[in-house]
Structure 1
Amino acid sequence: MNLKMYQSWKRRVLELKVTAFDIPLIGRNILILFIIGKLFYGSFIASILMFPLSIPWFVIQKERKQKKENHDLGIQFKDAMMSVLAAGKAGYSIENSFSEAIHDMRILYGKSSPICRELLRIEQGIKNNVTIEAMIRELGKRSKNKDIEEFAGVFAIAKRSGGNMTDTIERCIDVIGKRMEVENEIDVLIAAKRMEAQIMEAVPFGIMTYVGITNPGFFDALYGNILGITVMTACLVTYIAAYILMQRIIDIEI
Protein backbone atom coordinates (compact mmCIF):
# COMPACT_ATOMS: atom_id res chain seq x y z
CA MET A 1 0.00 0.00 0.00
CA ASN A 2 1.53 3.32 -1.08
CA LEU A 3 1.50 6.51 1.01
CA LYS A 4 -1.33 8.12 -0.97
CA MET A 5 -3.63 5.11 -0.50
CA TYR A 6 -2.74 4.95 3.20
CA GLN A 7 -3.59 8.63 3.70
CA SER A 8 -6.88 8.14 1.84
CA TRP A 9 -7.91 5.24 4.09
CA LYS A 10 -6.77 7.14 7.18
CA ARG A 11 -8.94 10.10 6.21
CA ARG A 12 -11.94 7.84 5.56
CA VAL A 13 -11.57 6.16 8.95
CA LEU A 14 -11.19 9.47 10.80
CA GLU A 15 -14.24 10.95 9.05
CA LEU A 16 -16.33 7.91 9.95
CA LYS A 17 -18.86 8.48 12.72
CA VAL A 18 -19.74 5.31 14.60
CA THR A 19 -23.09 5.43 16.40
CA ALA A 20 -25.21 3.03 18.42
CA PHE A 21 -27.12 2.23 15.21
CA ASP A 22 -23.95 0.58 13.86
CA ILE A 23 -23.86 -2.07 16.61
CA PRO A 24 -25.88 -4.62 14.53
CA LEU A 25 -23.50 -4.06 11.60
CA ILE A 26 -20.44 -4.54 13.81
CA GLY A 27 -21.99 -7.66 15.37
CA ARG A 28 -22.72 -9.14 11.95
CA ASN A 29 -19.15 -8.52 10.80
CA ILE A 30 -17.75 -10.22 13.92
CA LEU A 31 -20.05 -13.20 13.36
CA ILE A 32 -18.93 -13.52 9.74
CA LEU A 33 -15.29 -13.36 10.86
CA PHE A 34 -15.88 -16.25 13.26
CA ILE A 35 -17.58 -18.23 10.49
CA ILE A 36 -14.65 -17.61 8.14
CA GLY A 37 -12.16 -18.62 10.81
CA LYS A 38 -14.02 -21.85 11.53
CA LEU A 39 -14.69 -22.83 7.91
CA PHE A 40 -11.35 -21.86 6.35
CA TYR A 41 -8.95 -22.59 9.21
CA GLY A 42 -10.90 -24.75 11.63
CA SER A 43 -10.13 -22.38 14.50
CA PHE A 44 -11.71 -19.29 16.02
CA ILE A 45 -8.21 -18.01 16.82
CA ALA A 46 -7.81 -17.28 13.11
CA SER A 47 -10.86 -15.02 13.34
CA ILE A 48 -9.13 -12.95 16.02
CA LEU A 49 -5.99 -12.69 13.88
CA MET A 50 -8.10 -11.52 10.92
CA PHE A 51 -9.87 -8.84 12.96
CA PRO A 52 -7.84 -5.95 11.41
CA LEU A 53 -9.36 -6.89 8.04
CA SER A 54 -12.80 -6.08 9.43
CA ILE A 55 -11.91 -2.38 9.82
CA PRO A 56 -11.72 -1.50 6.07
CA TRP A 57 -14.71 -3.80 5.49
CA PHE A 58 -16.70 -1.91 8.10
CA VAL A 59 -15.64 1.43 6.58
CA ILE A 60 -16.88 0.32 3.15
CA GLN A 61 -20.18 -0.96 4.56
CA LYS A 62 -20.67 2.20 6.63
CA GLU A 63 -20.03 4.40 3.59
CA ARG A 64 -22.47 2.31 1.56
CA LYS A 65 -25.08 2.72 4.30
CA GLN A 66 -24.51 6.48 4.43
CA LYS A 67 -24.76 6.63 0.65
CA LYS A 68 -28.18 4.95 0.76
CA GLU A 69 -29.34 7.27 3.54
CA ASN A 70 -28.17 10.30 1.56
CA HIS A 71 -29.97 8.98 -1.52
CA ASP A 72 -33.17 8.62 0.50
CA LEU A 73 -32.65 12.14 1.88
CA GLY A 74 -32.34 13.42 -1.69
CA ILE A 75 -35.71 11.90 -2.59
CA GLN A 76 -37.30 13.42 0.51
CA PHE A 77 -35.63 16.77 -0.25
CA LYS A 78 -37.14 16.79 -3.74
CA ASP A 79 -40.61 16.19 -2.28
CA ALA A 80 -40.00 18.95 0.26
CA MET A 81 -39.03 21.38 -2.49
CA MET A 82 -42.20 20.46 -4.37
CA SER A 83 -44.13 21.39 -1.22
CA VAL A 84 -42.14 24.67 -1.02
CA LEU A 85 -42.98 25.30 -4.68
CA ALA A 86 -46.69 24.72 -4.10
CA ALA A 87 -46.66 27.07 -1.10
CA GLY A 88 -44.81 29.70 -3.13
CA LYS A 89 -47.37 29.52 -5.93
CA ALA A 90 -50.09 29.94 -3.30
CA GLY A 91 -48.58 33.29 -2.32
CA TYR A 92 -46.35 32.41 0.65
CA SER A 93 -42.94 34.00 1.02
CA ILE A 94 -39.95 31.73 0.52
CA GLU A 95 -39.30 31.63 4.29
CA ASN A 96 -42.89 30.72 5.11
CA SER A 97 -42.93 28.19 2.29
CA PHE A 98 -40.23 26.18 4.05
CA SER A 99 -42.22 26.30 7.29
CA GLU A 100 -45.32 25.06 5.46
CA ALA A 101 -43.32 22.22 3.91
CA ILE A 102 -42.65 20.82 7.39
CA HIS A 103 -46.33 20.00 7.86
CA ASP A 104 -46.51 18.19 4.51
CA MET A 105 -43.35 16.17 5.19
CA ARG A 106 -44.64 15.12 8.60
CA ILE A 107 -47.70 13.67 6.91
CA LEU A 108 -45.69 12.07 4.11
CA TYR A 109 -42.64 10.71 5.98
CA GLY A 110 -43.36 11.11 9.70
CA LYS A 111 -42.04 13.43 12.39
CA SER A 112 -38.80 11.51 12.90
CA SER A 113 -37.83 11.45 9.21
CA PRO A 114 -34.49 13.00 8.16
CA ILE A 115 -36.16 15.65 6.00
CA CYS A 116 -38.33 16.85 8.89
CA ARG A 117 -35.26 17.24 11.07
CA GLU A 118 -33.48 19.19 8.35
CA LEU A 119 -36.47 21.45 7.66
CA LEU A 120 -36.78 22.17 11.37
CA ARG A 121 -33.08 23.05 11.40
CA ILE A 122 -33.64 25.43 8.47
CA GLU A 123 -36.67 26.97 10.21
CA GLN A 124 -34.62 27.50 13.38
CA GLY A 125 -31.84 29.04 11.32
CA ILE A 126 -34.28 31.49 9.74
CA LYS A 127 -35.45 32.53 13.22
CA ASN A 128 -31.79 33.13 14.14
CA ASN A 129 -31.34 35.37 11.07
CA VAL A 130 -29.36 32.78 9.10
CA THR A 131 -30.15 32.91 5.39
CA ILE A 132 -31.98 30.01 3.77
CA GLU A 133 -29.30 29.58 1.13
CA ALA A 134 -26.64 29.23 3.85
CA MET A 135 -28.70 26.58 5.63
CA ILE A 136 -29.30 24.60 2.41
CA ARG A 137 -25.61 24.89 1.49
CA GLU A 138 -24.68 23.56 4.93
CA LEU A 139 -27.14 20.68 4.48
CA GLY A 140 -25.58 19.82 1.12
CA LYS A 141 -22.04 19.78 2.56
CA ARG A 142 -23.11 17.73 5.58
CA SER A 143 -25.05 15.15 3.58
CA LYS A 144 -22.66 15.16 0.59
CA ASN A 145 -25.71 14.88 -1.66
CA LYS A 146 -25.01 16.20 -5.16
CA ASP A 147 -28.61 17.19 -5.82
CA ILE A 148 -28.85 19.26 -2.64
CA GLU A 149 -25.45 20.88 -3.23
CA GLU A 150 -26.39 21.86 -6.79
CA PHE A 151 -29.79 23.11 -5.66
CA ALA A 152 -28.13 25.22 -2.95
CA GLY A 153 -25.81 26.85 -5.51
CA VAL A 154 -28.60 27.70 -7.96
CA PHE A 155 -30.91 28.84 -5.15
CA ALA A 156 -28.25 31.17 -3.72
CA ILE A 157 -27.53 32.77 -7.12
CA ALA A 158 -31.24 33.27 -7.86
CA LYS A 159 -31.91 34.78 -4.43
CA ARG A 160 -28.95 37.18 -4.62
CA SER A 161 -29.84 38.29 -8.15
CA GLY A 162 -33.52 38.76 -7.31
CA GLY A 163 -34.71 36.12 -9.77
CA ASN A 164 -38.06 34.39 -9.83
CA MET A 165 -37.65 31.90 -6.99
CA THR A 166 -40.72 29.88 -7.97
CA ASP A 167 -39.44 29.27 -11.50
CA THR A 168 -35.95 28.53 -10.20
CA ILE A 169 -37.17 25.92 -7.72
CA GLU A 170 -39.42 24.37 -10.36
CA ARG A 171 -36.56 24.00 -12.85
CA CYS A 172 -34.27 22.53 -10.18
CA ILE A 173 -36.96 20.03 -9.15
CA ASP A 174 -37.37 19.02 -12.79
CA VAL A 175 -33.62 18.37 -13.18
CA ILE A 176 -33.42 16.43 -9.89
CA GLY A 177 -36.52 14.43 -10.84
CA LYS A 178 -35.07 13.42 -14.22
CA ARG A 179 -31.83 12.30 -12.60
CA MET A 180 -33.74 10.22 -10.06
CA GLU A 181 -35.78 8.63 -12.85
CA VAL A 182 -32.56 7.49 -14.52
CA GLU A 183 -31.28 6.12 -11.20
CA ASN A 184 -34.53 4.22 -10.65
CA GLU A 185 -34.37 2.74 -14.16
CA ILE A 186 -30.80 1.56 -13.54
CA ASP A 187 -31.79 0.10 -10.16
CA VAL A 188 -34.60 -1.86 -11.82
CA LEU A 189 -32.28 -3.13 -14.55
CA ILE A 190 -29.58 -4.38 -12.18
CA ALA A 191 -31.84 -5.46 -9.29
CA ALA A 192 -31.72 -9.08 -10.50
CA LYS A 193 -27.94 -8.92 -10.85
CA ARG A 194 -27.63 -7.60 -7.30
CA MET A 195 -29.67 -10.54 -6.05
CA GLU A 196 -27.50 -12.95 -8.04
CA ALA A 197 -24.37 -11.34 -6.56
CA GLN A 198 -25.71 -11.76 -3.02
CA ILE A 199 -26.48 -15.43 -3.70
CA MET A 200 -23.03 -16.01 -5.19
CA GLU A 201 -21.42 -14.38 -2.14
CA ALA A 202 -23.16 -16.90 0.15
CA VAL A 203 -22.68 -20.00 -2.03
CA PRO A 204 -19.06 -20.83 -0.99
CA PHE A 205 -19.98 -20.70 2.71
CA GLY A 206 -23.08 -22.79 2.06
CA ILE A 207 -21.12 -25.45 0.20
CA MET A 208 -18.40 -25.65 2.86
CA THR A 209 -20.97 -25.84 5.65
CA TYR A 210 -22.92 -28.58 3.84
CA VAL A 211 -19.81 -30.65 3.15
CA GLY A 212 -18.56 -30.18 6.70
CA ILE A 213 -21.87 -31.35 8.19
CA THR A 214 -22.49 -34.29 5.83
CA ASN A 215 -18.83 -35.42 5.77
CA PRO A 216 -17.27 -34.75 9.20
CA GLY A 217 -13.50 -34.47 9.01
CA PHE A 218 -13.47 -33.82 5.24
CA PHE A 219 -11.51 -30.56 5.65
CA ASP A 220 -9.27 -31.77 8.50
CA ALA A 221 -6.38 -32.33 6.09
CA LEU A 222 -6.39 -28.59 5.35
CA TYR A 223 -6.35 -27.50 8.98
CA GLY A 224 -3.30 -27.14 11.22
CA ASN A 225 -0.58 -27.48 8.55
CA ILE A 226 1.32 -25.02 6.37
CA LEU A 227 0.12 -26.42 3.02
CA GLY A 228 -3.52 -26.44 4.08
CA ILE A 229 -3.33 -22.93 5.51
CA THR A 230 -1.70 -21.71 2.28
CA VAL A 231 -4.40 -23.29 0.12
CA MET A 232 -7.26 -21.98 2.24
CA THR A 233 -5.70 -18.51 2.39
CA ALA A 234 -5.41 -18.48 -1.41
CA CYS A 235 -9.09 -19.48 -1.66
CA LEU A 236 -10.08 -16.75 0.80
CA VAL A 237 -8.08 -14.10 -1.08
CA THR A 238 -9.70 -15.21 -4.35
CA TYR A 239 -13.14 -14.94 -2.72
CA ILE A 240 -12.41 -11.43 -1.40
CA ALA A 241 -11.15 -10.31 -4.83
CA ALA A 242 -14.31 -11.70 -6.49
CA TYR A 243 -16.48 -9.97 -3.86
CA ILE A 244 -14.79 -6.60 -4.51
CA LEU A 245 -15.10 -7.06 -8.27
CA MET A 246 -18.83 -7.89 -8.03
CA GLN A 247 -19.47 -4.85 -5.85
CA ARG A 248 -17.71 -2.57 -8.34
CA ILE A 249 -19.71 -4.01 -11.24
CA ILE A 250 -23.11 -3.46 -9.62
CA ASP A 251 -22.23 -0.11 -8.03
CA ILE A 252 -23.26 2.38 -10.72
CA GLU A 253 -23.33 6.12 -10.04
CA ILE A 254 -25.12 8.81 -12.05
Structure 2
Amino acid sequence: MNDTLIRTSALAAVLAGGIVFAAGAAQDKLVLDGSTTVGPIAKAFAEHLMRQDPAINITVSESGSGNGAKALLNGTCDIANLSRHLKGAEKEAMEAKGLKPVAHVAAYDALPVVVHPSNKVGDLTIEQIRDIYTGKIANWRDVGGFDKPIVVISRDTNSGTYETFAELVLGKDGKVAKTAEYAGSNGAIRQRVQKTEGAIGYVGIGFIDDTVKVVKVNGVAPSVETALDKTYPINRELFMFTNGEPAAGSLAAKFLGLITSREGAAMVEEIGFVPVPAKK
Protein backbone atom coordinates (compact mmCIF):
# COMPACT_ATOMS: atom_id res chain seq x y z
CA MET A 1 0.00 0.00 0.00
CA ASN A 2 1.15 3.50 -0.72
CA ASP A 3 1.84 6.15 1.88
CA THR A 4 1.39 9.67 0.56
CA LEU A 5 2.87 12.60 2.41
CA ILE A 6 1.17 15.86 1.56
CA ARG A 7 2.72 19.02 2.89
CA THR A 8 2.88 22.57 1.66
CA SER A 9 4.55 26.00 1.81
CA ALA A 10 4.18 29.06 -0.36
CA LEU A 11 7.78 28.84 -1.59
CA ALA A 12 7.47 25.15 -2.46
CA ALA A 13 4.34 25.90 -4.47
CA VAL A 14 6.27 28.31 -6.66
CA LEU A 15 9.18 25.91 -7.14
CA ALA A 16 7.10 22.82 -7.80
CA GLY A 17 4.50 24.47 -9.99
CA GLY A 18 1.85 22.10 -8.74
CA ILE A 19 0.94 20.12 -5.64
CA VAL A 20 3.59 20.75 -3.07
CA PHE A 21 5.28 18.64 -0.46
CA ALA A 22 6.21 20.86 2.29
CA ALA A 23 8.95 22.84 3.64
CA GLY A 24 9.22 24.94 6.74
CA ALA A 25 7.63 24.82 10.16
CA ALA A 26 3.87 24.63 10.45
CA GLN A 27 1.80 26.55 12.96
CA ASP A 28 -0.78 23.80 12.99
CA LYS A 29 -0.76 20.20 11.81
CA LEU A 30 -3.05 17.24 11.24
CA VAL A 31 -2.22 13.58 10.64
CA LEU A 32 -4.55 11.17 8.82
CA ASP A 33 -4.04 7.48 8.11
CA GLY A 34 -6.06 4.56 6.80
CA SER A 35 -8.11 3.57 3.78
CA THR A 36 -6.77 3.80 0.24
CA THR A 37 -10.36 4.39 -0.87
CA VAL A 38 -10.93 7.38 1.41
CA GLY A 39 -7.39 8.61 0.76
CA PRO A 40 -8.19 10.65 -2.38
CA ILE A 41 -10.93 12.53 -0.50
CA ALA A 42 -8.59 13.25 2.40
CA LYS A 43 -5.86 14.43 0.02
CA ALA A 44 -8.25 16.75 -1.81
CA PHE A 45 -9.42 18.27 1.49
CA ALA A 46 -5.82 18.63 2.67
CA GLU A 47 -4.68 20.35 -0.50
CA HIS A 48 -7.68 22.71 -0.35
CA LEU A 49 -6.95 23.80 3.23
CA MET A 50 -3.21 24.09 2.69
CA ARG A 51 -3.71 26.31 -0.35
CA GLN A 52 -5.78 28.59 1.87
CA ASP A 53 -3.17 28.63 4.64
CA PRO A 54 0.43 27.65 3.76
CA ALA A 55 1.34 27.61 7.45
CA ILE A 56 -0.58 24.43 8.18
CA ASN A 57 0.81 20.94 7.67
CA ILE A 58 -1.46 18.00 6.83
CA THR A 59 -0.15 14.47 6.30
CA VAL A 60 -2.29 11.81 4.63
CA SER A 61 -1.08 8.19 4.65
CA GLU A 62 -2.82 5.21 3.05
CA SER A 63 -1.97 2.10 5.04
CA GLY A 64 -5.42 0.49 4.93
CA SER A 65 -8.54 0.75 7.09
CA GLY A 66 -7.30 -1.72 9.70
CA ASN A 67 -4.05 0.19 10.14
CA GLY A 68 -5.95 3.46 10.29
CA ALA A 69 -7.97 2.14 13.23
CA LYS A 70 -4.73 1.02 14.91
CA ALA A 71 -3.19 4.46 14.36
CA LEU A 72 -6.15 6.15 16.05
CA LEU A 73 -5.94 3.64 18.90
CA ASN A 74 -2.21 4.26 19.35
CA GLY A 75 -2.48 8.02 19.03
CA THR A 76 -0.35 8.24 15.90
CA CYS A 77 -3.05 9.91 13.83
CA ASP A 78 -5.72 12.54 14.47
CA ILE A 79 -8.21 11.19 11.94
CA ALA A 80 -8.54 7.56 10.84
CA ASN A 81 -9.93 7.00 7.34
CA LEU A 82 -11.96 3.79 7.06
CA SER A 83 -13.94 2.39 4.16
CA ARG A 84 -16.01 0.42 6.66
CA HIS A 85 -17.31 0.93 10.17
CA LEU A 86 -15.18 0.11 13.19
CA LYS A 87 -15.21 -3.54 14.16
CA GLY A 88 -16.51 -4.41 17.59
CA ALA A 89 -13.04 -5.41 18.79
CA GLU A 90 -11.52 -2.15 17.51
CA LYS A 91 -14.17 -0.06 19.25
CA GLU A 92 -13.76 -2.01 22.49
CA ALA A 93 -9.97 -1.58 22.40
CA MET A 94 -10.34 2.16 21.94
CA GLU A 95 -12.86 2.50 24.74
CA ALA A 96 -10.63 0.41 27.02
CA LYS A 97 -7.89 3.04 26.51
CA GLY A 98 -10.29 5.86 27.25
CA LEU A 99 -10.86 6.89 23.64
CA LYS A 100 -14.27 7.96 22.39
CA PRO A 101 -14.36 7.10 18.68
CA VAL A 102 -16.72 9.30 16.69
CA ALA A 103 -17.72 8.36 13.13
CA HIS A 104 -18.02 11.06 10.47
CA VAL A 105 -19.53 9.88 7.17
CA ALA A 106 -17.25 11.36 4.51
CA ALA A 107 -19.02 10.05 1.39
CA TYR A 108 -21.12 7.24 0.00
CA ASP A 109 -19.76 4.57 -2.28
CA ALA A 110 -20.71 1.55 -4.33
CA LEU A 111 -18.36 -1.33 -5.13
CA PRO A 112 -18.60 -1.93 -8.88
CA VAL A 113 -17.63 -5.38 -10.13
CA VAL A 114 -15.28 -4.98 -13.08
CA VAL A 115 -14.09 -7.28 -15.87
CA HIS A 116 -11.91 -6.94 -18.96
CA PRO A 117 -13.53 -4.80 -21.72
CA SER A 118 -13.58 -7.82 -24.07
CA ASN A 119 -15.77 -9.85 -21.69
CA LYS A 120 -19.32 -10.19 -23.02
CA VAL A 121 -20.82 -10.84 -19.58
CA GLY A 122 -22.78 -7.75 -18.58
CA ASP A 123 -24.81 -8.83 -15.56
CA LEU A 124 -24.14 -11.12 -12.62
CA THR A 125 -26.17 -12.01 -9.55
CA ILE A 126 -24.78 -11.76 -6.05
CA GLU A 127 -24.90 -15.57 -5.92
CA GLN A 128 -22.85 -15.89 -9.12
CA ILE A 129 -20.26 -13.41 -7.85
CA ARG A 130 -20.06 -15.31 -4.55
CA ASP A 131 -19.57 -18.59 -6.41
CA ILE A 132 -16.86 -17.04 -8.59
CA TYR A 133 -14.95 -15.69 -5.61
CA THR A 134 -15.25 -18.88 -3.59
CA GLY A 135 -14.14 -21.00 -6.55
CA LYS A 136 -17.40 -22.82 -7.29
CA ILE A 137 -17.54 -21.15 -10.70
CA ALA A 138 -14.16 -21.16 -12.41
CA ASN A 139 -14.91 -20.57 -16.10
CA TRP A 140 -16.71 -17.68 -17.76
CA ARG A 141 -18.76 -20.04 -19.92
CA ASP A 142 -20.71 -21.03 -16.79
CA VAL A 143 -22.15 -17.51 -16.54
CA GLY A 144 -22.71 -16.89 -20.25
CA GLY A 145 -19.23 -15.75 -21.19
CA PHE A 146 -16.37 -17.07 -23.29
CA ASP A 147 -14.63 -20.37 -22.58
CA LYS A 148 -11.83 -18.99 -20.44
CA PRO A 149 -10.72 -19.57 -16.84
CA ILE A 150 -11.75 -16.83 -14.41
CA VAL A 151 -8.87 -14.94 -12.79
CA VAL A 152 -10.17 -13.77 -9.40
CA ILE A 153 -8.67 -10.51 -8.11
CA SER A 154 -9.44 -9.37 -4.56
CA ARG A 155 -8.34 -6.60 -2.25
CA ASP A 156 -6.00 -7.61 0.57
CA THR A 157 -7.74 -8.78 3.73
CA ASN A 158 -6.62 -5.73 5.77
CA SER A 159 -8.63 -3.52 3.46
CA GLY A 160 -12.01 -2.08 4.40
CA THR A 161 -13.03 -2.60 0.78
CA TYR A 162 -12.36 -6.32 1.17
CA GLU A 163 -14.32 -6.47 4.41
CA THR A 164 -17.32 -4.73 2.87
CA PHE A 165 -17.22 -7.10 -0.10
CA ALA A 166 -16.87 -10.10 2.19
CA GLU A 167 -19.84 -9.02 4.29
CA LEU A 168 -22.18 -8.11 1.44
CA VAL A 169 -21.20 -10.75 -1.12
CA LEU A 170 -19.34 -13.68 0.43
CA GLY A 171 -21.43 -13.90 3.57
CA LYS A 172 -20.40 -15.04 7.02
CA ASP A 173 -18.98 -18.41 5.96
CA GLY A 174 -17.70 -17.50 2.50
CA LYS A 175 -13.95 -17.65 1.88
CA VAL A 176 -12.08 -16.38 -1.14
CA ALA A 177 -10.68 -19.18 -3.29
CA LYS A 178 -7.04 -20.11 -2.65
CA THR A 179 -6.26 -19.40 -6.30
CA ALA A 180 -7.29 -15.74 -5.98
CA GLU A 181 -4.78 -12.93 -6.40
CA TYR A 182 -4.68 -10.07 -3.89
CA ALA A 183 -4.01 -6.42 -4.68
CA GLY A 184 -3.04 -3.64 -2.31
CA SER A 185 -5.21 -0.88 -3.76
CA ASN A 186 -8.20 -0.12 -5.97
CA GLY A 187 -5.86 1.13 -8.67
CA ALA A 188 -3.88 -2.11 -8.62
CA ILE A 189 -7.04 -4.15 -9.13
CA ARG A 190 -8.12 -1.95 -12.02
CA GLN A 191 -4.71 -2.27 -13.64
CA ARG A 192 -4.70 -6.06 -13.31
CA VAL A 193 -8.23 -6.41 -14.71
CA GLN A 194 -7.63 -4.12 -17.68
CA LYS A 195 -4.62 -6.23 -18.71
CA THR A 196 -6.14 -9.69 -18.12
CA GLU A 197 -8.95 -11.00 -20.33
CA GLY A 198 -10.27 -13.51 -17.82
CA ALA A 199 -10.05 -11.28 -14.75
CA ILE A 200 -12.75 -10.08 -12.37
CA GLY A 201 -12.30 -7.57 -9.56
CA TYR A 202 -14.12 -4.99 -7.45
CA VAL A 203 -13.21 -1.37 -6.75
CA GLY A 204 -14.64 1.81 -5.28
CA ILE A 205 -16.93 3.72 -7.64
CA GLY A 206 -14.38 6.51 -7.87
CA PHE A 207 -11.90 4.16 -9.55
CA ILE A 208 -13.89 3.04 -12.58
CA ASP A 209 -12.97 4.29 -16.04
CA ASP A 210 -13.16 3.14 -19.65
CA THR A 211 -10.20 0.76 -19.26
CA VAL A 212 -12.46 -1.77 -17.52
CA LYS A 213 -16.05 -2.95 -18.02
CA VAL A 214 -18.53 -2.56 -15.17
CA VAL A 215 -21.10 -5.34 -14.88
CA LYS A 216 -24.55 -4.93 -13.39
CA VAL A 217 -25.28 -6.76 -10.15
CA ASN A 218 -28.77 -8.25 -9.84
CA GLY A 219 -29.69 -6.15 -12.86
CA VAL A 220 -28.64 -2.83 -11.29
CA ALA A 221 -25.71 -0.70 -12.44
CA PRO A 222 -23.62 1.16 -9.82
CA SER A 223 -24.18 4.93 -9.92
CA VAL A 224 -24.63 7.96 -7.69
CA GLU A 225 -28.37 7.36 -7.63
CA THR A 226 -28.23 3.62 -6.90
CA ALA A 227 -25.60 4.14 -4.20
CA LEU A 228 -27.79 6.71 -2.44
CA ASP A 229 -31.05 4.79 -2.72
CA LYS A 230 -29.19 1.52 -1.99
CA THR A 231 -30.78 -0.34 -4.92
CA TYR A 232 -27.26 -1.32 -5.98
CA PRO A 233 -26.61 -4.22 -3.60
CA ILE A 234 -22.90 -3.63 -2.91
CA ASN A 235 -22.90 -0.18 -1.32
CA ARG A 236 -21.29 1.39 1.74
CA GLU A 237 -20.48 4.53 3.68
CA LEU A 238 -16.94 5.90 3.84
CA PHE A 239 -15.80 7.17 7.23
CA MET A 240 -13.39 9.47 8.99
CA PHE A 241 -13.03 8.66 12.71
CA THR A 242 -11.83 10.96 15.48
CA ASN A 243 -11.25 10.53 19.20
CA GLY A 244 -14.22 12.57 20.43
CA GLU A 245 -15.65 15.57 18.60
CA PRO A 246 -12.91 17.96 17.44
CA ALA A 247 -12.82 21.27 19.28
CA ALA A 248 -14.66 24.08 17.53
CA GLY A 249 -12.28 26.09 15.39
CA SER A 250 -9.57 23.42 15.42
CA LEU A 251 -7.89 22.30 12.22
CA ALA A 252 -9.61 18.90 12.55
CA ALA A 253 -13.00 20.62 12.83
CA LYS A 254 -12.26 22.73 9.74
CA PHE A 255 -11.12 19.61 7.86
CA LEU A 256 -14.25 17.61 8.74
CA GLY A 257 -16.44 20.64 8.07
CA LEU A 258 -15.53 20.30 4.40
CA ILE A 259 -17.58 17.09 4.23
CA THR A 260 -20.89 18.96 4.30
CA SER A 261 -19.67 22.13 2.61
CA ARG A 262 -20.40 22.92 -1.03
CA GLU A 263 -16.68 22.96 -1.76
CA GLY A 264 -16.17 19.58 -0.15
CA ALA A 265 -19.15 18.05 -1.92
CA ALA A 266 -17.77 19.26 -5.25
CA MET A 267 -14.38 17.67 -4.47
CA VAL A 268 -15.96 14.34 -3.48
CA GLU A 269 -18.08 14.31 -6.63
CA GLU A 270 -15.13 15.18 -8.85
CA ILE A 271 -13.16 12.26 -7.40
CA GLY A 272 -16.07 9.98 -8.28
CA PHE A 273 -17.78 9.28 -4.96
CA VAL A 274 -21.21 10.31 -3.77
CA PRO A 275 -21.08 13.39 -1.51
CA VAL A 276 -22.88 13.81 1.77
CA PRO A 277 -25.66 16.39 1.21
CA ALA A 278 -24.10 19.84 1.54
CA LYS A 279 -25.25 22.38 4.09
CA LYS A 280 -27.15 25.24 2.51
TM-score band (shorter)? under 0.3
More helix by share: 1
The one of the two structures with greater contact order (alpha-carbon pairs below 8 A, sep at least 6) is: 2
TM-score when normalising by structure 1 = 0.23
Q: So what's the TM-score if we normalise by structure 2?
A: 0.21
